[in-house]
Amino acid sequence: MTLPQLSLVCIGFGHVGQRLARLLTEIAPRLDFGWRLVAIGTRRHGSVVDPRGIDVTRALALIDSGQPLDRLDPSPRQRSGLDVIRQAARDLADEAADGRLVCVESTVLNIDDGEPALSHVRAALEAQMHVVTVNKGPAAFACDEIEAMAEAVNRACLFEGAVMDGVPVFNLVRETLPAVRVDGFRGVINTTSNFVLSALERGQAFDDAVREMQARGIAEADPSLDIDGWDAAAKTAALVNVLMGGSVTPHQVVRTGIRQVTAADIGEARARGRRIRLVASAARHGGAIEARVEPELLTPDDPLAGLADTENALYLRTDLLGDIGIVQREGNLTQTAYAVVSDLSRIAVRLRDETRR
């Protein structure tokens, strides 16, 4: 059987995009799809659109050596992410029409409005591209709108990487829990905050821990988004909207970060056999859904208490299965890049099913 061939338009090509390009190359023999890069749009490394396909090794080498991607472009020019999407849609119109053009979105999130991801996703769907994003913006700010758009153009919009990297959360519920109602959740879903709290427990300094997360490419570009709970709030909104059918933005999540948590607080908690963790949660109260992100003092028997460093976990409250949890013991760039791979694989399955009909 011939594998579906996907043409990828990467909008944003930082840590995640570069790791994705390498990972797709490394595991190519196991993939249920073929792929090539046809466009890359970045804020800092220029852009390239080439319908004949981009040499991935050369693109990565240019970035490593600080040179612009424009050097690979047949007719280089200054372009925004939106410009790249629109040009790729024109230059690869047949592939867009066949559903083989996929926009992979991994830009930096603006927590005020979910941009620029939201505009990128809208433009890509309008251009009949499938969308895979690791961005929390679309599901956190415009879940219903984006899902309706995707359905109207018969394209997928997937975002497994928005929460807990490649460990399945959205796919877990959609693909493996049919007929189950999610009534709430509790989780530790911001890696940087959890690493900082764990570092404080070890006697390390707050700022050193943040810097370590930045060096590993895990902290947000602006780490205050992690520390002040915004990243967790955006993920919480995405989870509420997608898994519970809610309609909240990150700004409607009751939010307290870990900036005020001191080494003394941690020491006091430990002396009482407890742990402080930044907990994201949601629960239905009558018709309303209350969503919160805040440091909680946890007893040792709480399944979130034992999560250290880069561990994440999400416990879903369900009506048929009670509480079930999914746990990620290591969070790193490969895992985030894998989230994109798993979503691309879903698109490949969909293409194969459509071709068979």
- Cα–Cα distance, 18 to 205 (Å, whole number): 31
- Cα–Cα distance, 4 to 6 (Å, whole number): 6
CB of 261 to a copy of itself, least distance (A): 21
Q: CB nearer to a copy of itself: give 32 or 207.
A: 32
Contact between 162 and 342 under an 8 Å Cβ cutoff? The reply is no
CB of 308 to a copy of itself, least distance (A): 7
- Active-site annotation holds for 235: yes
For residue 31, which phi and psi values (nearest 5 degrees)?
A: -75, 150
Contact between 113 and 141 under an 8 Å Cβ cutoff? The reply is yes
Contact between 335 and 165 under an 8 Å Cβ cutoff? The reply is yes
Q: CB nearer to a copy of itself: give 75 or 176.
A: 176
Binding mask 9-48 for a copy of itself (x = CB under 8 A): --------------x---x--xxx----------------
Which among 76-84, 146-154, 227-235, 317-325 is the span making contact with a copy of itself, rule CB under 8 A?
317-325
Answer yes or no whether residue 161 interacts with a copy of itself by CB under 8 A. Answer: no
Restricted to residues 330-349, the positions that interact with a copy of itself (CB under 8 A) are 330, 332, 334-335, 338, 341-342, 345-346
CA 59-15-327 angle, to 5 degrees, is: 140
Q: What is the DSSP string of 303-349?
A: TTTT--TT-EEEEEEETTTEEEEEEES---HHHHHHHHHHHHHHHHH
Binds a copy of itself (CB under 8 A): choice among 56, 108, 172, 283: 172
Contact between 335 and 328 under an 8 Å Cβ cutoff? The reply is yes
Which among 5-13, 41-49, 105-113, 313-321 is the span making contact with a copy of itself, rule CB under 8 A?
313-321
Cβ-based neighbours of 34, under 8 Å, separated by 6 or more: 3, 4, 5, 6
Q: CB nearer to a copy of itself: give 64 or 353.
A: 353
Write down the catalytic residue from 235, 255, 292, 317.
235
Binding mask 112-151 for a copy of itself (x = CB under 8 A): ----------------------------------------
Answer yes or no whether residue 166 interacts with a copy of itself by CB under 8 A. Answer: yes
- Cα–Cα distance, 291 to 281 (Å, whole number): 6
Task: Name the site residues for a copy of itself (rule: CB under 8 A).
Answer: 23, 27, 30-32, 165-168, 171-172, 175-181, 300-301, 303, 306, 308, 313, 315, 320-330, 332, 334-335, 338, 341-342, 345-346, 353, 356-357
Catalytic residues, by residue number, are 235
